[in-house]
Amino acid sequence: MLDATTGEIDLGGTTVPTWTYGGELPGRELRARRGDLLQVRLRNALPQPTTVHWHGLALRNDMDGVPALTQPEIAPAATFDYAFTVPDAGTYWFHPHVGVQLDRGLYAPLVVEDPDEPGDYDQELVVMFDDWLDGTGSDPDQVLVDLLTNGMGGMGGMGGMGGMGGMGGMVMPRSDLLGGDAGDVTYPYFLANGRTADAARAVDVRPGERIRLRLINASGDTAFRVGVPGTPMIVTHTDGFPVVPTPAEAVLLGMGERVDAVVEVADSVVPLLGLAEGKDGVTQVVLRPGPEAAPDVNAAVIALLGSRVTAVNELPAAESVALPALEPDVVHPMTLGGPEPGYTWTINGRTYDPAFGVSVREGQRVRLRFENPTTMFHPMHLHGHTFQIRGPAGAGPRKDTAIVLPGQALVVDFDADNAGQWLTHCHNVYHGEAGMMTVVSYVQ
Ligand code: C2O
Ligand code: CU
């Protein structure tokens, strides 16, 4: 039983009223093995209708959790039985697909284990990064209303920051790594596994242990730069699928993206940091092999800012999951647009309308070409499939969510092998709600 419910959550000294799965933040992890049948009864104790989307899984279409397109919304006080086979191992997560509920506390990890994977590590650590404003004097529904009314520069909680900057009264966050605007919404808190940096969760480790990190960005509007300063990570998976293991000092995770990486802990306390990219915020989980106090977070931030950031979109897929090289049977442009006056974000010139998706046929090799002429990055997500990025150097990683930088294009290929009506959209939850979604539609 999975309860979507309202309640108070302690972020580490600050208690906020919010919506969660089961009264925990993040919600309790679900774990399965590849090929398992996962059965979850969702009980909706929220004041709004909801659904659950199982982000990244190539599951049966009627369990995908997209209102109207794949299932009716689950009314308040109603239940819905999700049941589906999990086809691929990897690091996934789940969240609602109604409105901007995702930017409350409704998210949790879903880990699918591969019984055949050797697993060269001693323990696992799942870390969910999040930007937080719910219950701090505002909430995501209010932020969306503000954005739709006033355009960019939506305000998070803490009010009182007006007066800074120009137009919207806010200074837009910027990031070179993101090629421009770093976000539309101001957040008072940034969280790792539900905690702010000064109340960070600590994980007991033994010196020399190898930790498999499963890093998940569950944010609404924030990319995170993640690393363990001074400790190299070996990146092993992108969005659940293996890549050629690659050392990295830091990685950038857009909203919805995941990276698995292995770190070998030294004999002193180190932070696993998540910097809110371009937003001047930080959060952390502390890896603690001994009793000493955690090091100064500001020094760690400076070290991480000086680290090289590995481009996950360019990592080569592991041979076992690389798609066979084929010419596409069909190429669909996906031109991103916005924000138009007010706050409208589009794909191919339209806000979301399921009647104007793109068509594919079962068995086709499909190419999507995301073009981003806007001034902001968009983490574009495809439901029900794990595409392969085509990089300048040829075949890149398998992913289901990937950042498309401003002024750039991202080309992805996938095999149309999972019939249904599948959303593709920006995983900035405000962009998605403001229209930046469309449908990849299997036709006969
Ligand atoms: Cu995680 Cu349609 O999204
Ligand atoms: Cu976007």
Round to whole Å and give the CA distance between 197 and 41: 34
- The CATH number of the domain covering residues in 130-312: 2.60.40.420
The confidence score (pLDDT) of residue 164 equals 33
Name all residues whose Cβ lies below 6 A of ligand 1.
53, 55, 95, 97, 256, 381, 383, 423, 425, 427
Domain pair 130-312 / 319-442, same fold = yes
Q: Which of 247, 193, 201, 197 is nearest to 218 (CA)?
A: 193
Round to whole Å and give the CA distance between 283 and 191: 6
The percentage of residues in the chain with a pLDDT greater than 70, rounded to a whole number, is: 95
Distance 431 CA to ligand 2 centre (A): 5
Q: Which atom of ligand 1 is nearest to the CA of 432?
A: 2
Q: Which of 156, 184, 158 is nearest to 171 (CA)?
A: 184
Residue 401 confidence (pLDDT) above 70: yes
**Ligand closest to CA 383:** 1
C-beta separation of 427 from 434 below 8 A: no
The DSSP annotation for 227-292 comes to EBTTB-EEEEEETTEEEEEEEESEEEE-TT-EEEEEEE--SS-EEEEEEETTTTEEEEEEEESSSS
Pairing outcome for strands 378-382 and 401-404: antiparallel
Domain boundary assignment for the chain: 2-112, 130-312, 319-442
Round to whole Å and give the CA distance between 184 and 180: 12
Here the tokens at position 10 are: 């302690």
Q: Alpha-carbon dihedral of residues 152, 97, 436, 357, nearest 10 degrees?
A: -170
Which of 169 and 296 is assigned the larger pLDDT? 296
Q: Which of 178, 45, 97 is nearest to 421 (CA)?
A: 97
Q: Which CATH number fits domain 2-112: 2.40.50.140, 3.40.50.720, 3.40.50.1820, 2.60.40.420?
A: 2.60.40.420
* Other beta carbons within 10 Å of 422: 24
Q: Which atom of ligand 1 is nearest to the CA of 425?
A: 2
**Ligand closest to CA 381:** 1
- pTM listed for this prediction: 0.96
Distance 383 CA to ligand 1 centre (A): 7
Using one digit for the tens of pLDDT, what is the confidence trace for 206-254? 999 999 999 999 999 999 999 999 999 999 999 999 999 999 999 999 9
The DSSP annotation for 333-348 comes to EEEEEEEETTTEEEET
The protein residue with its alpha carbon nearest to ligand 1, atom 1, reads: 55
**Ligand closest to CA 257:** 1
Architecture of domain 319-442: Sandwich (2.60)
Using one digit for the tens of pLDDT, what is the confidence trace for 244-258? 999 999 999 999 999
